Amino acid sequence: MVIDAHRRVVAIDGPAGAGKSTIAKALASRLNMKYLDTGAMYRAITFEAMLRELDLDDQSAVTHLAQDCDLHVGIDRVIINGHDATQAIRGSEVTGNVSKVAANSGVRTEMRLRQQEWATAHGGGVIEGRDIATVVFPDAVLKVFLTASPEVRAQRRVDQHGGNVTEIASAIAERDLLDSTRADSPLVSSFDAVVVDTSNRTVEDVVDEIESMFFERNR
């Protein structure tokens, strides 16, 4: 039962700005599946830890917060311990600190557990993140690793949230480095993932390709 639900997961991993959220949401809607943004979970823990003025280097304190929090990540709302963090988790303060929280093994263990429970409760879904294919759902029916050139990724972030392309590009590069060199479940393409470069392609075109792969696997 649990394993079956985990097999009905489509894993979408990749670095910031590769198009994960846009593609994963559109795909979930096409396939009539639920959607989970696991990055929003790490962002929400970061938000709550900052609100409580915890020392983010205090791994044990932040882990306890993650274990004890009431966290709801929906399609358009993120609520943690009754606080609506939907807007704040996209702000520069949370964005600047989230890699540190995401490198905390205690936090990762708790988030993985919650992600697996979510998939079991929903009978699978389209789940985006960094370690979804490699660690959280190794049995996922389809694993996609989305990429895009650094220039395209920075420009997309600027289009979404404003800012200066050069500064955003360097912030993205710094976050990629932290995410891909951390000891616990670093950002890496799974050996059995399909790598899809989204640079200069429309959302519809990319979603069409992934949808075809999904139907191919489910024939």
Per CB under 6 A, residues contacting ligand DC are 16, 38-39, 42-43, 98-99, 102, 129-132, 175, 179
Residue 208: CB minimum distance to ligand DC, A: 23
- Between 38 and 190, name the residue whose CB sits nearer to ligand DC: 38
Contact 17/148 with Cβ under 8 angstroms? yes
Choice between 181 and 218, CB closer to ligand DC = 181
Q: CB of 158: closest distance to ligand DC in angstroms? A: 15
Torsion on CA atoms 6, 118, 93, 170, rounded to nearest 10: 10
Q: Nearest distance from residue 104's CB to ligand DC, in Å? A: 10
Residue showing tokens 């895009």: 148
Q: Is the CB of 42 or the CB of 214 nearer to ligand DC?
A: 42
Q: How far is the CB of 167 from ligand DC (least distance, A)?
A: 16
**Which is closer to ligand DC, CB of 85 or CB of 132?**
132
The least distance separating ligand DC from the CB of residue 215, rounded to whole angstroms, comes to 26
